[in-house]
């Protein structure tokens, strides 16, 4: 097989800044060992997130100039609406400034005290918006998805038996919605199969429960279906997406992921009454229904991005480039979540640094080491992000201690990724020298963004 190449050439470049190891030791100390507090200018390869960090195409930049900035009835809105209707088959669409704004509107309208929302795994902003509306979110991830090194094609699947059981226990009348996240970001960017989506939607329909998709990375999920699920190998990714959305009553979307936009999102659905209520809320929070918190130029860029993201040469390159990085690490014995997902490689920090216990934050220590060794920025997804305290102050750790290296779309080349793997392998070779971390400051909520750390002696 020939090398799978980047299906684009570069027209505009953005220099990245090199620093020395001595400079980086000083920079990370000044940032209290928290990568969120480092100035982006001091980062060489930024794998903090794949959200809002994509490179737009020449067609999208041309679209930016074509954006219609009319307050009401902008031509760009109709282009945006049409692009979403074509993929989702959903008649009603409202633009929002990003994914969590769609969540806020949807759960304000459909949530409330005593209601339950079920998922394979809710993303943190989604769960936070459900809880903020007074409801409870429950994750029902399939058992396979809970084991980092277990190889299975669809580790993002919802556990269908657990779904039926939960409906039986809580009562269908108390469950508002089941929302499946494609791909499952918090669980390693793992895909969900069409069979699982179809069956989950049937269970919901039978019980009168709404079925939604968190569609942020829908195109990556569709490509995995094409490659891994029987019966889909000859379908186009657009046809697969159309089928996937056909099972859903609605969806939320962050256009900062699979629409290659730097900002934006939407909410789409089939129910006229609910969309009307959402629109009313949109007007007081985001803006008039034909722009919803976005400029006309953003709507245009999203409409074009949604069309581009389903191109199979792009998706082949995208999924291959993550797998390429993962394979190099696996060959060197570095523990990662397997198989690699759609948008990121997740290092298993527990296995990488077995001498650092969860209460000394192995993921945070690994993030600091990657920055010092090579100027790479990743994010801890473990006890710092999800840790809670017992009444006696003991830390309750989540099951996994991970470091996510999310790859921005169309931004880095193969040599950047080769460099990243070389740095990770360097750190792996001297992993015994890495030390644990202690928190010296933390905010009461979402502490990972602002926490300060000290390296253990």
- Given the rule CB under 6 A, which of 11-19, 98-106, 234-242, 413-421 is the region that contacts ligand F0G? 98-106
Does residue 54 bind ligand F0G (CB under 6 A)? Answer: no
What is the number of residues in the chain?
Answer: 457
User: For residues 248-277, which are near ligand F0G according to CB under 6 A?
Assistant: 254, 256, 265
Q: For the residues of 341-378, what is the DSSP string, one character each?
A: -SSEEEEEHHHH-TTS-GGG-HHHHHHHHHHHHH-EE-
Question: 33: left (phi > 0), else alpha (psi -120 to 50), else beta?
Answer: left
Q: Toward ligand F0G, which CB reaches closer, 136 or 262?
A: 262
Angstrom distance (rounded) from CA 191 to CA 217: 9
Question: Backbone phi, then psi, for 109, in 5-degree steps?
Answer: -75, -45
- Given the rule CB under 6 A, which of 26-34, 118-126, 282-290, 445-453 is the region that contacts ligand F0G? 118-126
User: For residues 171-190, which are near ligand F0G according to CB under 6 A?
Assistant: 181, 185
**Could you tell me where the DSSP H helices lie in 185-236?**
194-206, 218-228
User: For residues 280-319, which are near ligand F0G according to CB under 6 A?
Assistant: none
Does residue 140 bind ligand F0G (CB under 6 A)? Answer: no
Does residue 126 bind ligand F0G (CB under 6 A)? Answer: yes
Residue from 33, 123, 211, 352 that binds ligand F0G (CB under 6 A)?
A: 123
Does residue 120 bind ligand F0G (CB under 6 A)? Answer: no
User: For residues 188-217, which are near ligand F0G according to CB under 6 A?
Assistant: 214, 216
Closest approach of Cβ 431 to ligand F0G, in Å?
26
Applying CB under 6 A, what is the total number of residues that bind ligand F0G?
15
Does residue 49 bind ligand F0G (CB under 6 A)? Answer: yes
Q: Toward ligand F0G, which CB reaches closer, 197 or 216?
A: 216
Do the beta carbons of residue 329 and residue 424 sit within 8 Å?
Answer: yes
Residue from 57, 76, 98, 142 that binds ligand F0G (CB under 6 A)?
A: 98
From the list 224, 156, 220, 142, the residue with the least C-alpha distance to 187 is 156
Q: How many CB atoms lie within 10 A of CB 225?
A: 26
Angstrom distance (rounded) from CA 451 to CA 33: 9
Please work out, in degrees rounded to the nearest 5, the angle formed at the alpha carbon of residue 257 by the alpha carbons of 251 and 263.
95
| Residues in contact with ligand F0G by the rule CB under 6 A | 49, 51, 98-100, 123, 125-126, 181, 185, 214, 216, 254, 256, 265
């Amino acid at each position: 097989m020939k090398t799978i190449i980047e299906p684009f050439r570069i027209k505009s470049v953005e220099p990245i800044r090199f620093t020395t190891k001595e400079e980086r030791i000083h920079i990370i100390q000044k940032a209290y060992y928290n990568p969120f507090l480092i100035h982006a200018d001091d980062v060489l390869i930024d794998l903090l997130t794949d959200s809002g960090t994509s490179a737009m195409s020449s067609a999208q930049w041309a679209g930016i100039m074509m954006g219609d900035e009319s307050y009401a009835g902008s031509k760009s809105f109709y282009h945006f609406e049409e692009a979403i209707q074509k993929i989702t088959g959903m008649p009603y669409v409202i633009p929002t400034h990003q994914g969590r704004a769609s969540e806020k509107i949807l759960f304000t309208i459909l949530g409330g005290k005593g209601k339950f929302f079920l998922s394979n795994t809710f993303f943190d902003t989604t769960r936070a918006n459900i809880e903020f509306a007074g409801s409870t979110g429950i994750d029902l991830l399939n058992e396979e998805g809970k084991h980092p090194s277990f190889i299975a094609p669809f580790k993002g699947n919802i556990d269908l038996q657990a779904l039926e059981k939960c409906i039986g226990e809580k009562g269908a009348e108390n469950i508002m919605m089941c929302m499946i996240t494609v791909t499952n970001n918090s669980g390693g960017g793992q895909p969900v199969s069409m069979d699982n989506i179809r069956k989950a939607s049937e269970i919901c329909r039978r019980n009168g429960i709404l079925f939604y998709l968190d569609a942020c990375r829908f195109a990556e999920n569709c490509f995995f279906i094409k490659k891994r699920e029987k019966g889909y190998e000859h379908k186009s990714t657009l046809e697969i997406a159309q089928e996937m959305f056909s099972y859903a009553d609605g969806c939320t979307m962050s256009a900062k992921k699979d629409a290659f936009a730097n900002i934006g999102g939407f909410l789409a659905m089939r129910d006229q009454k609910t969309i009307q209520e959402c629109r009313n809320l949109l007007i007081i929070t985001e803006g008039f229904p034909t722009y919803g918190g976005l400029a006309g130029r953003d709507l245009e860029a999203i409409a074009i991005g949604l069309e581009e993201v389903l191109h199979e040469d792009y998706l082949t390159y995208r999924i291959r480039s993550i797998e390429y990085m993962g394979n190099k690490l696996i060959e060197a014995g570095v523990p990662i979540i397997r198989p690699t997902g759609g948008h990121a490689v997740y290092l298993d920090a527990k296995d990488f640094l077995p001498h650092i216990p969860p209460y000394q934050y192995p993921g945070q220590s690994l993030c600091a080491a990657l920055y010092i060794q090579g100027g790479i920025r990743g994010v801890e997804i473990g006890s710092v992000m999800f840790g809670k305290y017992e009444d006696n102050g003991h830390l309750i750790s989540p099951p996994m201690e991970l470091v996510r290296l999310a790859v921005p779309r169309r931004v880095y080349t193969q040599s950047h990724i080769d460099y990243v793997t070389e740095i990770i392998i360097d750190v792996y070779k001297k992993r015994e020298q890495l030390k644990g971390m202690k928190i010296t400051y933390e905010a009461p909520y979402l502490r990972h963004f602002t926490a300060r750390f000290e390296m253990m002696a």
